[in-house]
């Protein structure tokens, strides 16, 4: 059920009856419960066209609009707002329908093909916290899009190509004389550092590194097989992280930079033919007047270096053409930190000029802010190094384990380990997902692992509360009678929230903003807690019908929480 969409429909029908066509239909959530749940604010804008006072127009709309089934009251307020108070009987009915539906009442959207480019680590190094945000925000967005019925193509645009590989392969080739690849590459960070030291200090090494690049790009067999070994081990590292994180990426989703290598020369010749790329000091560049500086100098976008080498930008143009042309993406979403915003803006302008995308196809860079330490500076280890993702996740599980063990519970050791894993990983993911994507946020163990506030443990706990309620009542959610009757104001508020789930996932899919879903789930869990206090279910003397109606609402809370957390990639538990 999408209440917002339904109200827009009904109001637009009413306006058509009044002879007004194609007017905007501004329906929004009301700011305070006294004003009902939704508000129509379109009357003011019609005053001129209809030559009537806004309040009179609003009165007229209230007379005409067909909302008898949905609303218990429509009232005109202020200069001409229409407040919509939703009807308890209708709410109860909709909740019953949702409870019977495996999709909890969420309709599928018209299908789009959506390419989502996320995670995309650079294989020269181990995955570090910089790749946490793209990986989990991307995965949540992917899951929401799929839930709404879209065809999603995951693209892990791994940095598996480029000049740094010359240095890495030269070093690997030497090491393989004594060791096998797996041991040589057991710590990618160390391996990278060693190679870099040799590159900087050892005589002749830098030249060998450069030779390796040329040979690799020329398709030399020995180089390629070394490269494959390197890539293979680094991919396995990323896969470990994905598994720990409960992220849906697999090897099949990898479409790294190397996959576009064969097409880069074509991209350049096409840009040249169309007169978009021109030679400038030996390099091929595109001038972008749309992004000129204050003096009017156009931005310069290099697509081929003077030595003939290609760049990150060239690969992104090839990727754009492949996604729009071959994969037929209606939308392409790319998740990276905000520092790459200009690059993608330029890439879009150049790619569109070159006709690499159709007008209607969208290219949406979804930037995000940085993860900061408690000192407000980029998150680092105590000694100032980059934090490896695997280590961070292991620490999360360990800390969660300690906290859970301190709580009053009768979990076995195995259960405790499982709960610690779900809570620890859930907490790290949720802390990130719940922040507005575009701002920086401070990483803080204590807040993210707290059982109070907008955290994963709080939501996971709310879910177990419902589950234990059913255990105590001795009722099975699946087979209980579903006859909902809404009387109390907490029941009313809870049912409205429950029916807003579809609206919320719609926003997440439109804007790639999982934090909107987090905020919603937090509100839902809080509304459930208030309802639970005010509307007893297990107390003596509660009529069976009242109890069952409340249990049914609780059951819908449980399905909605679990569906929502599942979309965020956070696991639920039966007990904790
Ligand atoms: N490998 C890049 C990085 O770590 C991110 C790639 C994002 N995707 C893209 N099509 N450029 O910064």
Q: Is residue 455 part of a domain?
A: no
Whether residue 323 has its Cβ less than 6 Å from ligand 1 = no
Q: Are 57 and 80 a contacting pair, CB within 8 Å?
A: yes
- Kindly provide the b/e burial profile for residues 58-82, where b requires at least 16 CB atoms within 10 angstroms of the residue's own CB: bbbbbeebebeebbbebebeeebbb
For ligand 1, the distance from its centroid to the CA atom of residue 118, given in whole angstroms, is 8
The interface predicted TM-score of the complex, written ipTM, equals 0.99
Report CA(339)–ligand 1 centroid distance (Å): 11
Q: How far is the CA of 343 from the centre of ligand 1 (A)?
A: 11
Per-residue pLDDT for the chain (576 aa), expressed as one digit of tens each?
999 999 999 999 999 999 998 889 999 999 998 999 999 999 999 998 999 999 999 999 999 999 999 999 999 999 999 999 999 999 999 999 999 999 999 999 999 999 999 999 999 887 888 789 999 999 999 999 999 999 999 999 999 998 889 999 999 999 998 888 888 888 888 899 999 999 999 999 999 999 998 899 888 999 999 999 999 999 999 999 999 999 999 999 999 999 999 999 999 999 999 999 999 999 999 999 999 999 999 999 999 999 888 999 999 999 999 999 999 999 999 999 999 999 999 999 999 999 999 999 999 999 999 999 888 888 887 777 888 888 999 999 999 999 999 987 888 999 999 999 999 999 999 999 999 999 999 999 999 999 999 999 999 999 999 999 999 999 888 888 789 999 999 999 999 999 999 999 999 999 999 999 999 999 999 999 999 999 999 999 999 999 999 999 999 999 999 999 999 999 999 988
Domain of 51, CATH number, reads 3.30.1360.70
Domain final position from 69, 86, 103 = 86
The secondary structure of 533-561, three-state, reads HHCCCCCCCCCHHHHHHHHHHHHHHHHHH
Distance 348 CA to ligand 1 centre (A): 15
Within a domain: residue 170? yes
* Structural domain includes residue 434: no
* C-alpha of residue 142 to centroid of ligand 1, in Å: 17
Which residue, of 64, 86, 108, is where some domain finishes? 86
Specify the ligand 1 atom closest to the Cα of 335: 7
- Secondary structure (DSSP) of 47-89: HHHHTS-HHHHHHHHHHH---TTTEEEEEEETTTEEEEEEPHH
572 lines ligand 1 (CB under 6 A): no
* Closest C-alpha residue for ligand 1 atom 5: 120
What's the CA gap between 5 and 106, in Å, rounded? 12
The domain boundary residue, chosen from 233, 253, 273: 253
482 within some domain = no
328 token code pair: 């037929």
Q: Which residues neighbour 198 within 8 Å (Cβ) at sequence distance 6 or greater?
A: 167, 170, 171, 205
Residue 211 lies inside a defined structural domain of this protein: yes
Q: Which domain holds residue 213?
A: 164-253
111 belongs to a structural domain: no
Is any ligand 1 atom within 6 A of the Cβ of residue 347? no
What's the domain count of the chain?
2
334 lines ligand 1 (CB under 6 A): yes
Q: Return the residue whose CA atom lies nearest to atom 9 of ligand 1.
A: 157
Residue 565 is assigned to a structural domain of this protein: no
Tell me if 231 is assigned to some domain. Answer: yes
Residues 424, 399 contacting (CB under 8 angstroms): yes
């Amino acid at each position: 059920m999408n209440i917002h969409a339904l109200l827009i429909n009904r109001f637009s029908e009413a306006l058509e009856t009044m002879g007004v066509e194609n007017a905007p239909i501004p329906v929004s959530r009301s700011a305070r419960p006294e004003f009902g749940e939704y508000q129509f604010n379109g009357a003011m804008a019609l005053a001129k066209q209809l030559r009537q006072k806004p309040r009179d127009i609003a009165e007229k709309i209230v007379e005409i609009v067909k909302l008898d089934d949905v609303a218990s009251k429509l009232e005109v307020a202020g200069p001409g707002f229409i407040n919509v108070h939703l009807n308890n009987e209708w709410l109860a009915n909709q909740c019953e329908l949702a409870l019977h539906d495996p999709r909890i009442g969420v309709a599928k959207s018209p299908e789009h093909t959506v390419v989502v480019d996320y995670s995309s680590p650079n294989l020269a190094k181990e995955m570090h916290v910089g790749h946490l945000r793209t990986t989990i925000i991307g995965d949540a967005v992917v899951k929401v899009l799929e839930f709404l019925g879209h065809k999603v193509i995951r693209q892990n645009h791994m940095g598996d190509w480029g000049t740094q590989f010359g240095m890495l392969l030269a070093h690997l080739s030497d090491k393989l004389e004594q060791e096998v690849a797996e041991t040589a590459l057991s710590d990618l960070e160390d391996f990278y550092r060693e190679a870099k030291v040799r590159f900087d200090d050892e005589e002749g090494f830098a030249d060998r590194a450069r030779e390796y690049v040329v040979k690799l790009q020329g398709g030399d067999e020995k180089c390629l097989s070394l490269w494959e070994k390197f890539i293979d081990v680094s991919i396995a590292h990323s896969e470990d992280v994905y598994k720990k994180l409960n992220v849906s990426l697999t090897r099949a989703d990898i479409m790294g930079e190397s996959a576009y290598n064969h097409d880069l020369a074509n991209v350049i010749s096409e840009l040249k033919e169309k007169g978009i790329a021109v030679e400038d000091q030996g390099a091929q560049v595109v001038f972008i007047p749309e992004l000129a500086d204050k003096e009017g100098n156009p931005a310069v976008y290099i697509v081929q270096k003077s030595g003939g080498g290609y760049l990150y930008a060239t690969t992104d143009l090839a990727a754009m053409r492949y996604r729009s042309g071959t994969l037929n993406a209606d939308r392409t979403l790319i998740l990276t930190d905000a520092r790459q915003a200009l690059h993608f803006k330029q890439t879009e302008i150049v790619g569109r000029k070159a006709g690499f995308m159709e007008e209607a196809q969208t290219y949406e860079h979804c930037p995000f802010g940085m993860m900061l330490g408690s000192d407000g500076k980029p998150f680092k280890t105590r000694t100032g190094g980059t934090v490896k993702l695997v280590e961070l996740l292991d620490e999360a599980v360990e800390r969660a384990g300690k906290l859970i063990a301190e709580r009053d519970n009768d979990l076995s050791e195995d259960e405790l380990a499982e709960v610690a894993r779900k809570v620890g990983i859930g907490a790290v993911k949720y802390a990130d997902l719940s922040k507005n994507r575009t701002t920086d946020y401070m990483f803080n163990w204590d807040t993210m692992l707290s059982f109070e506030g907008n955290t994963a443990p709080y939501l996971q706990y709310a879910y177990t509360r419902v589950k234990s309620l059913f255990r105590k009542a001795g009722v099975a959610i699946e087979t209980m009678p579903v006859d909902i009757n809404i009387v109390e104001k907490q029941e009313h508020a809870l049912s409205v929230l429950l029916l807003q789930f579809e609206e919320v996932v719609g926003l997440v899919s439109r804007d790639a903003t999982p934090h909107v879903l987090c905020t919603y789930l937090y509100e839902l869990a809080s509304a459930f807690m208030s309802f639970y206090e005010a509307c007893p279910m297990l107390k003596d003397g509660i009529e069976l019908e009242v109890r069952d109606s409340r249990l049914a609402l609780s059951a819908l809370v449980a399905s909605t929480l679990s569906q929502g957390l599942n979309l965020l990639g956070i696991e639920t538990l039966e007990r904790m």
